[in-house]
Amino acid sequence: MKIPKLKLYTKILVGLILGVVVGILLGPKAAVIKPIGTAFIRLITLIVVPLVFASLLVGTASLGDIRKLGRMGMKTITYYLTTTALAITIGLLLANIIRPGSRLPDEVKTNLLQNYGGVALEKIQQAEETPGVIDVLLDIIPTNPVNSLNTANMLQIIFFAVLLGIALTMIPSHRARSVLAFFEGINDAMIQIVHIVMKLAPYGVFALIAAIVGEFGAGILLTLARYSIVVIIGLILHTCLTYPAAVGLLAKMNPLTFFRGIRPAQLIAFSTSSSSATLPVTMECSIENLNVPNDVASFVLPLGATINMDGTALYQGVAAVFISEVYGMHLTLGNQLMIVLTATLASIGAAGVPGVGMITLALVLKTIGVPLEGIALILGVDRILDMCRTVTNISGDSSAAVIVAATEGELGTSRSFDYG
């Protein structure tokens, strides 16, 4: 009998489930297989800089129209800011209704503050080093683009690639041709590397999940059950209502097609907790499965991996209410509006890497005067919630790519990204 070939998505899912089982069985010992997962993360991360640079450069040069770029930029940023503000509002509403912090026993509070106080302090220090809004904006302009590539500074890379792409359309075509051909080659090769690396995804996901489940276990989730549940419900609501509604209404795309298309990227986001590391897969899924053209995907998605973090913003709303409740503080409507504003802005400057939401949370808490050491209360569950919010983050990015492509009249016909 011929064994049917499993699809990539199914294989990754099997890896994930086996990872949970092995993590539970082995406990902290599961850390021995973590290097396999780390190798996988490194392999996909290695593609990010050359892929984003080459595809955005080629994409911009092929647009041949600077106005179109400006229009796409406006649409993308408006959509990102609107959905982020909506996400925090959902988080705040749920937290105000369910009030997750109202029943946390005192001894649990003391224990958590003791156990995680040190790490919380590190996060607070990191947050203090975060520059202000003007500096963040100025920092988008690189003074040395080679350095930007070197340090994987995504906004600077985007800026330089777009500028270079535009300049290439303005010089004589016989001079631009060889540069473009070179980067087209790099782009194709990077996509090929994504295909190769994704064959390893089920093993990478297995190892990552086993190590995380082994390290954290389910116990801490129970301690902070109400808080974790509120965050997870919020993320599910935002992911399963806001995005389908947006792609359905604005792009006339069947939401099921949308979700089916981005499934592999969602699983990788869940396992790696990093929208930046997931970026090559998000781009592939959007281009191959959702028929977003390369120029749109290579512009909207890298931008999203850096500036659009709906899941992170939503969780910050819940966390702020939770922490202030535990400290017996009441957040006024003004405070809550301030959370919407700061969490939206904070998500712009932060790169999509694991745990960054925790650092920007310190900024949010600071603006509304909630004790920063309260972060220690939620650190224990942060990794697990980070996995969930990263799924929302990349789903939001993908929905933007679909919507921008559709409103530009460029959503094509289906190919398929499944390496079987």
Residue with Cβ nearer ligand ASP (155 or 411): 155
Half-sphere exposure of 344 (CA within 13 A, CB side): 19
Number of neighbours of residue 199 by Cβ within 10 angstroms: 12
- By CB under 6 A, the residues from 193 to 252 that bind ligand ASP are none
Residue with Cβ nearer ligand ASP (12 or 361): 361
Among 353, 368, 375, 401, binds ligand ASP (CB under 6 A): 353
Among the residue ranges 133-141, 216-224, 337-345, 349-357, the one whose residues contact ligand ASP (CB under 6 A):
349-357
Q: Alpha helices of 252-355 — where are they, by DSSP H?
A: 255-272, 275-284, 294-307, 310-326, 333-349
- By CB under 6 A, the residues from 69 to 128 that bind ligand ASP are none
Q: Which amino acid is at 51?
A: L
> What's the per-residue H, E or C state across 202-269?
HHHHHHHHHHHHHHHCCHHHHHCHHHHHHHHHHHHHHHHHHHHHHHHHHHCCCHHHHHHHHHHHHHHH
The least distance separating ligand ASP from the CB of residue 416, rounded to whole angstroms, comes to 26
370: Cβ–Cβ under 8 A, 6 or more apart, which residues?
A: 320, 323, 324, 327, 329
Residue with Cβ nearer ligand ASP (57 or 388): 388
Among the residue ranges 193-201, 215-223, 272-280, 398-406, the one whose residues contact ligand ASP (CB under 6 A):
272-280
Distance CA 376, CA 219 (A): 16
The least distance separating ligand ASP from the CB of residue 156, rounded to whole angstroms, comes to 18
Dig out the tokens for 403 from the structure.
Answer: 């919507």
Residue with Cβ nearer ligand ASP (271 or 390): 390
Residue 45 near ligand ASP by CB under 6 A? no
76 closest CA partner among 227, 344, 299: 299
Helix (H) or strand (E) holding 374: none
Residue with Cβ nearer ligand ASP (168 or 211): 211
The residue behind tokens 């509002």 is 89
Residue 346 near ligand ASP by CB under 6 A? no
Among 59, 142, 204, 352, binds ligand ASP (CB under 6 A): 352
- By CB under 6 A, the residues from 374 to 393 that bind ligand ASP are 386, 389-390, 393
Residue 154 near ligand ASP by CB under 6 A? no
- By CB under 6 A, the residues from 46 to 75 that bind ligand ASP are none
Residue 275 near ligand ASP by CB under 6 A? yes
The least distance separating ligand ASP from the CB of residue 281, rounded to whole angstroms, comes to 13
Half-sphere exposure of 160 (CA within 13 A, CB side): 21
Dig out the tokens for 22 from the structure.
Answer: 């092995």
In the stretch 281-310, what mask flags binding to ligand ASP with x, by CB under 6 A? ----------------------------x-
Residue 357 near ligand ASP by CB under 6 A? yes
Q: What is the DSSP letter of 31?
A: G
Among 354, 374, 380, 396, binds ligand ASP (CB under 6 A): 354
Among the residue ranges 29-37, 82-90, 271-279, 368-376, the one whose residues contact ligand ASP (CB under 6 A):
271-279
Q: How many residues bind ligand ASP (CB under 6 A)?
A: 15
Distance CA 413, CA 420 (A): 21
Residue with Cβ nearer ligand ASP (238 or 389): 389
Distance CA 282, CA 276 (A): 10
Residue with Cβ nearer ligand ASP (269 or 411): 269
Q: Which amino acid is at 4?
A: P
Q: What is the DSSP letter of 29?
A: G
Residue with Cβ nearer ligand ASP (213 or 388): 388
The least distance separating ligand ASP from the CB of residue 64, rounded to whole angstroms, comes to 33
- By CB under 6 A, the residues from 390 to 409 that bind ligand ASP are 390, 393
Residue with Cβ nearer ligand ASP (263 or 389): 389
Among 212, 292, 319, 356, binds ligand ASP (CB under 6 A): 356
15: Cβ–Cβ under 8 A, 6 or more apart, which residues?
A: 201, 202, 203, 204, 205, 206, 209
- Calculate the dihedral angle through the C-alpha atoms of 265, 266, 270, 275, rounding to the nearest 10 degrees: 60
Among 55, 228, 273, 344, binds ligand ASP (CB under 6 A): 273
23 closest CA partner among 13, 33, 14: 33
Dig out the tokens for 328 from the structure.
Answer: 């017996």
The binding site for ligand ASP (CB under 6 A) comprises 273-275, 309, 312, 352-357, 386, 389-390, 393
